[in-house]
Structure 1
């Protein structure tokens, strides 16, 4: 099997190492209030979906074919629910993360699809690796089919419930057991005037998500016969009069209208009207 560019640059990687690298790439671009860090990879099991509220999955093309998924919590699904743009759904919000995973694996991701949590495991199959993404808590999780990884770890730990992915808390020393002395360090107090502002929340956490923006001059309907008869130089009559405003669509939804202008030899759109929900419907 062809190795991914990341694996070629880092010889000796195990499947768990590659899964962790792919999850780290996803953590860098997945919308989140707090910075995300990929925790240790482990064999997937039926417990992985218990702590999440949404899931997106995609197929990979290229040297590797298979499926990967991202699970997210209430923070992201809540922000999406409050979005004024209907086209901004979980699939669109997680596409950059899925693309980053695919690139690390040496493949490309197709368009993501939002799926119900109870279908994720059946879509992936029984053999997959899970890597939790940690922020203030377990904010998300990356799921990768084992056959997509460079090599399966031969000494993987026994399968454990998802809640056990975090390292255990250090145990208290036994009574009368001497402990190494540690230099005392004075606590550092932060002045009230220098308190760090609260992190961005709600819809603002989605500001970095890419959206497909289209300007539409007009539409028409044609028979297959007329469509096949098109030749260079043919003129199509659209359903809009000359001088009428063009439509601005975001992920296929009408949000504004304006007039077409030329900016430095490129076309542009000067907005003249913002469409509210009632008018768009």
Structure 2
């Protein structure tokens, strides 16, 4: 069967999303299907954005539990799903011949209402199983197809709008690169009673729960993420990182 233009446009958008959506394995776009509430409910999170096309149609990215849990367990604290999926939505919009607005996280039961009307769902497969999905409203594919065929002119942009859209391409987790985090190096710990604390005086020695020569802990916002050895750098103490800990090793 010959692929229709709207279906080919949707598949191209899904392939663009698969290339940039965070995942432990490379994602590939599956075959588009008619979307419904039952299909949406199989995923764990969703983000939606408006396309800068006539009628402001919308697209959405669905993600699985693995990405939602990874964002929640980040050493920097819970990260925003909308920010994490913004590059994917930008990629989908570009494949549809447009730009998109800022992503918004929405609940799964509100996805249909946010998209507005019927939509296509393209599963994004990682290792053969769905790890995410792209939702494209029928209005979006029709509008994108019309733009591609020359039937509808692109949305007119003011200089200010064009500048804002240029910034959209760089949104995502990288927006957090300038956020200050509290980094602490911990040599060890001990427990004291109030009486022992009050008895402290200059010259007192506290025994820590760490053997001499053991690595020190590196904590970010109170969360252990690495270990290393204490060094001296230009008369200041420093930490040479020797081990980066994953979530299973922290405990």
Q: Tell me if both proteins adopt one fold, taking TM over 0.5 as the criterion.
A: yes
Q: 1:255 — aligned with what? A: 181
Q: Provide TM-score, normalisation by structure 2.
A: 0.57
Distance 1:64 1:126, change over 3 A: closer
How far off is 1:75 after superposition?
Answer: 1.0
How far off is 1:63 after superposition?
Answer: 5.5
How far off is 1:212 after superposition?
Answer: 1.9
Q: Provide TM-score, normalisation by structure 1.
A: 0.51
Residue aligned with 1:106, SS: coil
How far off is 1:18 after superposition?
Answer: 0.6
How far off is 1:13 after superposition?
Answer: 5.0
- Matches of 1:115 and 1:134, distance apart in 2: 22
Figure out how many residues of one structure are paired with residues of the other and give that number. 159
- Matches of 1:276 and 1:103, distance apart in 2: 36
- Matches of 2:94 and 2:144, distance apart in 1: 19
RMSD: 2.7
Answer whether contact 1:128 1:143 (CA < 8 A) is retained.
Answer: yes
How far off is 1:125 after superposition?
Answer: 2.0
Tell me if 1:39 matches 2:30.
Answer: yes
Q: 2:68 — aligned with what? A: 77
Deviations 1:190-248 (A, max 9, x none): xxxxxxxxxxxxxxxxxxx642257xxxxxxxxxxxxxxxxxxxxxxxxxxxxxxxxxx
- Matches of 1:86 and 1:276, distance apart in 2: 9
Gaps of 5+ in 2: 146-171, 184-217, 223-251
Gaps of 5+ in 1: 1-11, 154-208, 215-248, 258-273
Q: 1:94 — aligned with what? A: 85
- Matches of 2:176 and 2:113, distance apart in 1: 34
Give the structure with the larger helix fraction: 2
Superposition pairs for residues 170-249 of structure 1, below 5 Å?
210-213=173-176, 249=178
Tell me if 1:108 matches 2:94.
Answer: no
Residue aligned with 2:66, SS: helix
Q: 2:48 — aligned with what? A: 57
Q: 1:277 aligns with which of 199, 204, 221?
A: 221
Q: 2:133 — aligned with what? A: 141
- Matches of 1:36 and 1:276, distance apart in 2: 31
Superposition pairs for residues 11-22 of structure 1, below 5 Å?
13-22=4-13
How far off is 1:101 after superposition?
Answer: 0.3
- Matches of 2:53 and 2:143, distance apart in 1: 18
Deviates more, 1:68-77 or 1:41-50: 41-50
Tell me if 1:30 matches 2:21.
Answer: yes
Answer whether contact 2:46 2:60 (CA < 8 A) is retained.
Answer: yes
Answer whether contact 2:45 2:108 (CA < 8 A) is retained.
Answer: yes
Residue aligned with 2:51, SS: strand
Q: 2:244 — aligned with what? A: none
Q: 1:271 — aligned with what? A: none
Q: 2:122 — aligned with what? A: 131
